[in-house]
Amino acid sequence: MNLSPATAFPRHLAIIMDGNGRWATQRSLPRTEGHRAGAETARRIVQECLDLGLEFLTLYAFSRENWNRPAQEVGFLFDLLVQFISRELPDLEKRGVRLRILGEEQNLPFAARRTLAHARARTARGERMELNLALNYSGREEIVRACRLYLEAGGAPAGLTPETLGEYLYTAGQPDPDLIIRTSGELRTSNFLLFQAAYSELYFTDTLWPDFTPLDLRAAIADFQARGRRFGAVSEPSF
Ligand code: FPP
């Protein structure tokens, strides 16, 4: 599928990677196999986003609510993350990716924190695409945290505007997501980028994340390109 270069291309794409468990259950496999397949999809989609020239990609890898899963599954997800980062790091570095973490890192397992810190340092000079991994992330907590940081920095309550608040979010300095994709047929955003998603276009697909292909990504972007974004304004000036 050829994407139109003439129509607005998203600068920032965010993805809620959902359906790993169902994918595995459909195949009578343990849920962990779904996550393994999901990590492979994440790898392919990162590569495709680089090929397409996307500037910012956010992947929702672990929500704060995901701690409620069985300890064995949580442990597996973080082991997978460490493997994923360690394996992909040379390529990410080579392709000019800069890694950023959205979420509370201090509560993550030590091996994950160490791997993420190393990867962040190694990719710090990447200028081609910023890859945000949302880990132990909660949109509500992010907003509360930003308000606290603003006040702790001596900000006056009256000076708190959407713009100043944005400077205290994990995504400070980045454009808001133009497009948010959620796989697996669930029609909600699950505490993801609550503040930043104010004008994001939403795209829902029944495809389970492990089955989501680069072609599916292009279809989502083509759908985005066919939409008229007005940001609250009228479509045609009436005077
Ligand atoms: C949702 O599927 C997915 C997650 C909670 C974790 C996302 C993790 C990955 C895609 C793999 C690791 C990613 C990286 C970047 C290494 P689910 O388990 O909620 O599926 P279900 O709703 O069908 O149960």
pLDDT digits (tens, 9 = 90+) for 59-105: 999 999 999 999 999 999 999 999 999 999 999 999 999 999 999 99
- For residue 23, the CA-to-ligand 1 centroid distance in Å is 10
Q: Is 22 in the pocket of ligand 1 (CB under 6 A)?
A: yes
Q: Is 136 a catalytic residue?
A: no
pLDDT at residue 230 in the model: 76
Q: What is the pLDDT of residues 10-45, one digit of tens each?
A: 999 999 999 999 999 999 999 999 999 999 999 999
- For residue 142, the CA-to-ligand 1 centroid distance in Å is 21
Task: Please say if the pLDDT value at position 179 is more than 60.
Answer: yes
- Domain-wise residue ranges, the chain: 17-137+171-224
Which listed CATH number (3.40.1180.10, 2.60.40.10, 3.30.420.60, 3.10.180.10) goes with 17-137+171-224? 3.40.1180.10
**Residues contacting residue 159 through CB under 8 Å, at least 6 positions apart:** none
Task: Choose among 58, 61, 48: nearest CA to 20.
Answer: 61
Q: Is 82 in the pocket of ligand 1 (CB under 6 A)?
A: no
| Contact present, 199 and 176 (Cβ < 8 Å) | yes
| Contact present, 226 and 235 (Cβ < 8 Å) | no
pLDDT at residue 5 in the model: 61
- For residue 17, the CA-to-ligand 1 centroid distance in Å is 6
As a whole number of angstroms, the distance between CA 113 and CA 116 comes to: 5
4: DSSP letter: P
Q: Are strands 179-182 and 201-204 parallel, antiparallel or unpaired?
A: parallel
| Active-site annotation holder among 66, 79, 191, 223 | 66
As a whole number of angstroms, the distance between CA 49 and CA 59 comes to: 12
Closest residue to atom 1 of ligand 1, CA basis: 18
| Active-site annotation holder among 2, 18, 176, 178 | 18
pLDDT at residue 158 in the model: 96
Q: Which residue reads 């360690």 in tokens? A: 86
**Residues contacting residue 72 through CB under 8 Å, at least 6 positions apart:** none
As a whole number of angstroms, the distance between CA 196 and CA 203 comes to: 16
Around Cβ 233, how many Cβ atoms within 10 Å?
A: 8
